[in-house]
Amino acid sequence: MLKAFLAVAEAGSVSSAAEQLGYSQPGLSHRIQTLERELGCVLFRRRGNGMTLTREGQMLLPYARMTVAMMRDVNQAIAEFRDLRLAARNAQERNAQDRNSPDRNSPDRNEPRD
| 17-32 confidence digits (pLDDT tens) | 999 999 999 999 999 9
Under the banding of pLDDT at 50, 70 and 90, the label for residue 106 is low
Do residues 21 and 39 touch, judged by C-beta distance below 8 A?
Answer: no
Q: Could you read off the pLDDT of 53-104 as tens digits, one per residue?
A: 999 999 999 999 999 999 999 999 999 988 888 877 777 777 777 777 766 5
Lowest mean pLDDT among 7-11, 50-54, 101-105: 101-105
Does pTM surpass 0.85?
Answer: no
3-class SS of residue 47: strand
Closest CA to 39 of 11, 69, 59, 13: 59
The helix (run of H) or strand (run of E) holding residue 75 is helix 55-100
